[in-house]
A = this chain, B = another copy of it.
Amino acid sequence: MSGAREKIIQAAMELFWLKGYNSTSIADLLSRTQLNSGSLYHVFPSKQDVLIGVLEAYRDGIEQMLLEPAWGQVDDPIEKIFALLNGYRTMIVESECTYGCPIGSLALELHEPDPKVRDLLAENFENWTRAVERCLTAAGKRLPAKTDKNALAQFVLTAMEGGVMQARTHRDVSYFDRAVKQLRAHFELLEKAAKAPA
């Protein structure tokens, strides 16, 4: 019964997010968790296994860590999507525009990831878009019938990742806000098109 694994995962989630994977050393993890190297390597055979643990934690925690907080008091399915984006906006502001999506940052930092790692990154993205896609399906006839909901859900992720990237690069939330505003405009055009079909 050692809480070592949880302690390490928690510290690694924060450090990988703050400094990235390559720039986080085992020594960083040890000093943060107050463990010895042997204990860490008893639980995780290698640094990459810590990364895998972190990605699994994000994957398994998307509901309670991300969706539930954002959707607390939102019912409208399309507003749920923008509530989710607004959750990211909050994190950007709270971090003084240094926030980066943990998954997106890792996806770009790791240039030749192990298949297992790449699969977990993809799985995280998929769970995210699937959640958005459920909202789109719930929106029903407010969107044109021919709408490719999977592609549109991916587009929401695209807008989020691109917006986060630019906001951090410029250290200015307004870059994120403009991306969301454009996405909002796109949704309004879609809703208008659904009402008055050509």
Enumerate chain A interface residues (CB-CB to B < 8 A).
18-20, 22-23, 98, 100, 104-105, 107-109, 111-112, 118, 121-122, 125, 148, 150-152, 154-155, 157-163, 165-166, 168-171, 175, 178-179, 181-183, 185-186, 189-190, 193
Other-chain residue from B18, B23, B105, B163 in contact with A158 (beta carbon distance below 8 A): B163
Asked whether B189 lies within 8 Å of A193 as measured between CB atoms, the reply is yes
Asked whether B118 lies within 8 Å of A171 as measured between CB atoms, the reply is yes
Asked whether B179 lies within 8 Å of A125 as measured between CB atoms, the reply is no
Can you name 26 A-B residue pairings with CB atoms under 8 Å? A20-B22, A20-B111, A22-B22, A98-B111, A98-B112, A100-B108, A100-B111, A105-B108, A105-B109, A107-B165, A107-B168, A108-B165, A108-B168, A121-B169, A125-B169, A148-B181, A150-B178, A151-B182, A152-B182, A154-B182, A158-B163, A158-B179, A160-B162, A161-B162, A186-B186, A189-B193
Question: What is the CB-to-nearest-CB distance from A126 to chain B, in angstroms, rounded to a whole number?
Answer: 9
Asked whether A19 lies within 8 Å of B111 as measured between CB atoms, the reply is yes
Asked whether B109 lies within 8 Å of A109 as measured between CB atoms, the reply is yes
A18 to B175, CA, bound (A): 28
Asked whether A125 lies within 8 Å of B166 as measured between CB atoms, the reply is yes
Nearest B residue to A193 by beta-carbon distance?
A: B189
Nearest B residue to A186 by beta-carbon distance?
A: B186
Contacts A104-B165, A151-B182 supplied; 19 other A-B pairs, CB < 8 Å: A19-B112, A23-B111, A98-B111, A98-B112, A100-B108, A107-B169, A108-B168, A109-B109, A118-B169, A118-B171, A122-B169, A148-B181, A151-B178, A154-B178, A155-B159, A155-B178, A158-B162, A158-B179, A182-B186
